[in-house]
Structure 1
Amino acid sequence: MRHRVEGQSLRIVFAGTPDFAAESLKALLASRHQVVGVYTQPDRPAGRGRKLTPSPVKRLAEQHDLPVEQPLSLKDEAAQRRLAEFEADVMIVVAYGLLLPQAVLDTPRLGCLNVHASLLPRWRGAAPIQRAIEAGDSESGITLMQMDAGLDTGDMLLIERTPIDDATTGGDLHDRLAELGGRTLVEGVDALAEGSLSPTPQPATGVTYASKLSKPEAELDFRQPAAALSRRIRAFNPWPVAWTRLDGEPLRLWFAVPDTGPGEGDAEPGTLLAPDGEALRIACGVDGRDVLRVTRLQMPGGKPLAARDLLNANHPRLSPGQRLGQPKEADR
């Protein structure tokens, strides 16, 4: 820390964009500290009409009559001068989406703090929540970090942990960490105002990177083990949603667990097996001996439904022996 400020209240500039960041802004607005300005990404087209839509952070800021800045970049001098005009003690950055050059990091008197949704140095980068679930981590958490010029490489100020179990989805963990992030942030800013934060350098070992999610990577390969497939399905719920092909059309899988019962022999990976009344069962693994139980799915053109509802209706496209992941007959 370059300076310490004694006192009960800090002037804060907040920078963030999605719902996750809005939870941190909400927590700051309920604290004793003063948010003097908000930075967020420019409005983006959304919905069928592609109407320009403000970010969740912008909507919250406008509800509280806070000045909102939406620069395309923070690299130009005019944007940096505008930031300096806020005379902030500290800048809080939560899933903002723009790189902060050194001149920006140096502008607030206490620098810039970041709320990051992982236990650093594990899962630096864009998608730490989903990658933790996908990798089978037993826990995640929030790291409050002093920002530097690197990618999530700054000193750690506070760490809070939360477990990941076999039922945790990306949406579940996102919501839990958003709330935990807000609480941790306020605790950290309070300590900063009192001069009691102690920075700790990140360990040199254990560094991993959480690459950005994409829709193509959500396509499932049933040659993988059931445990790996179930983690990916949970991690990609609610976005980008794991999927496969049913008669060449997208079939989305929203929740699944490995079948703990015995396998069914040498079925080809992706083959639908006899259901158990509550779940669709899919052969997987290199030899097809693993079994994945899918309990929530979305038929092509339909809505997400419990598997038992589709099975009770004897849906004709989900009969045993059907092979998932195959192109249309015309494309073969």
Structure 2
Amino acid sequence: MKLVFCGTPQFAVPTLEAVIEAGHEVRLVVTQPDRAVGREQTLHAPPVKQVALERGIPLVQPEKIKNNRAFQTQLESIAPDAILVVAYGRIIPDWMLALPRLGCINLHGSLLPKYRGAAPIQWAVANGEVVTGVTTMRLDAGLDTGDLLLAQVMPVGLEETAVDVYECLADAGAKLMVETLSGLAEGSIWPQPQDHSLATLAPILKREDGSIDFSRTAKQIQDRWRGFQPWPGAHTVVRGKKLIVHRMHPAEKSLGLDEGMIAVEDNVLSVGCGGGTMLVLDEVQMEGKRRMSAADFLRGHQIKSGERLGNGR
């Protein structure tokens, strides 16, 4: 097929490479502009751009696409059979949805209609899902509301973080997109409307999502930490200062602590959580300091049983 590929982060790279290897003709890659990152504001190219340059594929990085007449003319001249959209990061305008004969085909990192939105992988892990997956769908004007094409279910390990699941789903999604294009070419895939009554949302993550709420159970807190990797992570407040938690695990037993109350025993730092559960903090970091084991933290700060961790942000 003659394709236009729209994608930006590493998640989209396996799909771009897979459709090229499958023999499809990617006429144009569309990705976000280079962005300044870090304290020195160094420009970084999106991973998808790097693949396009290595492969010698024509590339554009429009800041806006909705009313971009030059961009529209360029796509119309290509007349693609399909436009693939994988974590592109822009809303696809109506003129673009209507352009290709097979539509705009999106790879989404969840089993739709669950987890519609910007952060499906993170929220699935954060909510303690034991299975998730990837879905190909035909984009429409709604938020991940288009007709479903194919789906692939994937297990979520109890210790896996969003980073781990992200990599697995990126690879599975690449294979699923190739299978979807093959099925559309053969006429063996019939788009199915979503059951909108089953929809859940996965909104873009905010810094405050990483604030630990000790009224949740220890497992729920750990799940949110797993889901919010690498950002916003998990953090709380001790003695008025921000404390980042880098590793944690639910305790096998409970000491009957109040929510947020600390227990220190044999260099183990535990905290009471909802439902009578208890969380062990394994590795922590005071804001502006280096990360360290909980044992080193206890020795350096003389934290005592009975002190409290707060929900500061």
- TM-score of the superposition, structure 2-length normalised? 0.91
Task: State the SS of the aligned residue for 1:191.
Answer: helix
Residue 59 in structure 1 maps to residue 50 in structure 2: yes
Q: Say what the alpha-carbon RMSD is for the aligned residues.
A: 2.1
Structure-1 residue corresponding to 2:13: 22
Of the three residues 70, 74, 85, the one matched with 1:93 is 85
Instruction: Give the match for residue 133 of structure 1.
Output: 125
**Structure 1 segment 288-327 matched on structure 2, within 5 A:** 289-304=276-291, 307=293, 310-311=294-295, 315-317=299-301, 319-321=303-305, 322-325=307-310
Aligned in 2, Cα 1:218/1:91: closer, same or farther, shift over 3 Å?
same
Which whole-Å deviations, capped at 9, do the CAs of 1:242-271 have from their partners, x for residues lacking one?
A: 11123333322233332221x223x44223
Per-residue displacement from partner, 1:23-50 (whole Å, max 9, x unpaired)?
2212222221111111111111112211
Partner of 1:168: 160
What does 1:179-190 align with in structure 2 at a 5 Å threshold?
179-190=171-182
CA shift digits 1:106-136 (9 cap, x unpaired): 1112111000000000011111111112222
Q: 1:73 to 1:271 in 2, by over 3 A?
A: same
Secondary structure of the corresponding residue to residue 113 of structure 1 = strand
Q: Distance in 1 between matches of 2:265 and 2:34?
A: 46
Matched, 1:217 2:209: yes
> 1:86, 1:47 → 2: CA distance?
37
Whether the aligned pair in 1 keeps the contact of 2:132 and 2:156 (CA below 8 Å) is yes
Structure 2 Cα separation of the partners of residues 317 and 41 of structure 1: 45
Q: How far has the Cα of 1:314 moved from its partner?
A: 5.5
* Equivalent residue letter for 1:285: G
2:198 maps to which of 203, 206, 209: 206
Residue of structure 1 aligned with 2:188, choices 185, 192, 196? 196
Residues 171 and 238 of structure 1 are in contact (CA less than 8 Å); yes or no, is this contact kept in structure 2?
A: yes
Alignment of 1:216-235 (within 5 A): 216-235=208-227
Residue in structure 2 matched with residue 285 of structure 1 by the alignment: 274
**Alpha-carbon distance between aligned partners in 1 of 2:142 and 2:311, rounded to the nearest angstrom:** 43
Counterpart selection for 1:31 from 22, 26, 50: 22
Cα-to-partner distance string for 1:58-99 (whole Å, 9 max, x where unaligned): 111111111111112222232211111222111000111111
Matches within 5 A, 1:220-299: 220-261=212-253, 263-265=254-256, 267-275=257-265, 280-285=269-274, 289-299=276-286
Is the Cα–Cα contact under 8 Å of residues 234 and 254 in structure 1 kept in the other structure?
no
8 Å contact from structure 1 (residues 234, 255) kept in 2? no
Aligned length: 310
1:151 and 2:160 correspond? no
1:12 aligns with 2:3: yes
Distance 2:282 2:175 in 1: 34
> 1:317 & 1:107 partners in 2: Cα distance?
62
Where structure 1 has 5 or more consecutive residues not aligned to the other structure, the ranges are 1-9, 328-332
The answer to whether the 8 Å contact 1:246/1:326 transfers is no
Identity %: 38
Q: Which residue of 2 aligns with 1:4?
A: none
Contact 1:237/1:254, CA 8 A, preserved across alignment: no
Cα pair 1:142 1:180 within 8 Å, conserved = yes
Query: How has the CA–CA distance of structure 1 residues 303 and 27 changed in structure 2, closer, same or farther, with 3 Å as cutoff?
Result: farther
SS in structure 2 of the partner of residue 190 of structure 1: helix
Name the structure 2 match of 1:109: 101
Partner Cα distance (2:258, 2:159) in 1:
27
Cα distance in 1 between the residues matched to 2:38 and 2:117:
27
